[in-house]
Structure 1
Amino acid sequence: MKFMREYINEILKRKDLLIYLVKSGLKAEHRNSYLGYFWWLLDPLLNVAVYYFLVGIILGRGGENFAVFLVIGLIGWRWMNTTVNTSARAIVKHSSIINQVYLPKSIFPLAASSTQVVNFVFGLVVIAIFLIIFGVMPGWQVVYLPLIILVQLVFLLAISLFVAYICVFVRDIDNILSHVLRVFFYASPIIWEGGRLPAEYSWLVAINPVAIILDSYRAVLMYQTNPQFGGLLVIALSSAVVIAILLYFYSRNEHKIIKAL
């Protein structure tokens, strides 16, 4: 435990580096883009437009306020998707720095996760615009929104630390992740409603953490109901345990990471 505390203190001492990595990550995302940071708003809007056209218009499967339903699901998923993809390469990407200076390796996936939080904030602006346009008024349950965001952040931190660590030793995982994420995309109620599944498959949504988080967002923003407190609690506690275990693995295997790079 003492070794673990020392490792966490080392991370806290490097908070300036963490802030620098977050700022540089934000600048690098659209450095050569003509529209620059405007893409943080335009990208989710285009994403929603494409799926609304395919599902709502072509297939005719959208229900009431489907555009709002869709934008909440896609923006919540976009945060997950971009965080996992950027975190997978977080350590390998900075191998030249790591081989020259000692730094806690976990700081890199933590920085990647923190960078995507800013993107999600812009996504919340897009959600607010859709709520206003379609006249959907959240109830008092919207006070639970920061709680849901915090649970998703802890969940993504756990995933980020895991994929970044694994990808150092098994580089092929980075290529497999896109396929795994695609499975989760279609297995989660992002562009379709969970209630439309046959009864024998409804348990897939019930145990899917992505579904629990997205349904909780919709509950407080669209339906004026409480989020899934039980599911969110399980996700938060299990993610916190995973983070603690992974930080221990990082602290005990820093030398192995350097050798693998």
Structure 2
Amino acid sequence: MKSYIQEILKRKDLLYYLIKSGLKAEHRNSYLGYFWWLLDPLLNVVVYFFLVVIVLGRENDEFNYAVFLVIGLVAWRWISSSISSASKSILRYSSIINQVSLPKAIFPLSFTFSQLFNYLFGLIVVAVFLLFNGIIPGWEVVFLPLIMLVTLVFLMAIGFFLAYINVFVRDIDNIMTHVIRVLFYASPIIWEGGRLARSDYNLEWVVDYNPIAIIVDSYRDILMFHTTPDFIGLAVIFVISLTVIVLMINHYSKNEHKIIKVL
């Protein structure tokens, strides 16, 4: 496994190229080009704000729902896009894989990092909403890089796993479309987690043991509510994710020949 990691590090130029080309390909033929990195999360917020507040009549009483919504949607956009793109990464570059000998784990890794770049632009949208609504984050904002690191490691673990499985079980791609949709509604993206505690079905555990809920709420804690994040929950996510990454890299190093045979 050590030699495999060294091989990935040797290919850092290729990793950089894959990240750069992936970002360019997203809006290559659009008129607005890279401006979509800002406009896309903004429009996403507008759509859900109209749906929840205007159509469904949710009152903006307990806290500023617009800010609550934008933080959740920007974080979710990073998570969902990373899972979706990383899971198809090896298949997407199958033509290159069949011609050149290189570590296959580099492909899901490149898509995970490219979506991190998109998230940084999403943070600009979050900052605008915070400023417009008069919300100034407190000292707790120093934990933002920590939460981003946990999110990145979490997404790397999922990306490595799904990218490998998807090579052998092509139905995973179709299944993940529905799984991502379920995760969206099972996480406090457009609703606050406390609502499940007040439901008739006692579904509070959906938030308590949901890593996406812990991550999204942590962003809101430091940016909006001036409180420290759930360090225990973040630590558990980080340790489990790091364990999965180590296991998957070890698995990649021993079974990459199987990928080539299938492709």
User: TM-score scaled by structure 1?
Assistant: 0.97
Partners of 1:185 and 1:154 in 2: how far apart?
A: 20
Partners of 1:62 and 1:125 in 2: how far apart?
A: 26
Matched letter for residue 174 of structure 2: N
Partners of 2:103 and 2:14 in 1: how far apart?
A: 11
Partners of 1:103 and 1:239 in 2: how far apart?
A: 24
Give the corresponding residue for 1:234: 236
Contact 1:55 1:62 in 2 (8 A): no
Measured against aligned partners, the alpha-carbon deviations of 1:31-89 in whole angstroms (never above 9, x if no partner) come to 01111111111111111001101111221224321000000000000001110111111
Q: Check if 1:37 corresponds to 2:34.
A: yes
Partners of 1:248 and 1:56 in 2: how far apart?
A: 48
Residue correspondence of structure 1 range 27-106 to structure 2 within 5 A:
27-63=24-60, 64-106=63-105
Partners of 2:23 and 2:171 in 1: how far apart?
A: 26
Give the corresponding residue for 2:14: 17
Give the corresponding residue for 2:224: 222
Partners of 2:53 and 2:235 in 1: how far apart?
A: 33
Q: Check if 1:166 corresponds to 2:165.
A: yes
Question: Which range moves more in the overlay, 198-207 or 19-28?
Answer: 198-207
Identity of aligned residues (%): 64
1:203 is displaced (CA, Å) by 1.2
Matched letter for residue 66 of structure 1: Y
Partners of 1:167 and 1:225 in 2: how far apart?
A: 39
What runs of 5+ residues in structure 1 fail to find an aligned partner? none
Q: Secondary structure at the match of 1:201?
A: coil
Partners of 2:233 and 2:110 in 1: how far apart?
A: 27
Contact 1:92 1:168 in 2 (8 A): yes
Partners of 1:49 and 1:182 in 2: how far apart?
A: 19
User: TM-score scaled by structure 2?
Assistant: 0.97
Matched letter for residue 41 of structure 2: P
Partners of 1:225 and 1:62 in 2: how far apart?
A: 24
Contact 1:155 1:235 in 2 (8 A): yes
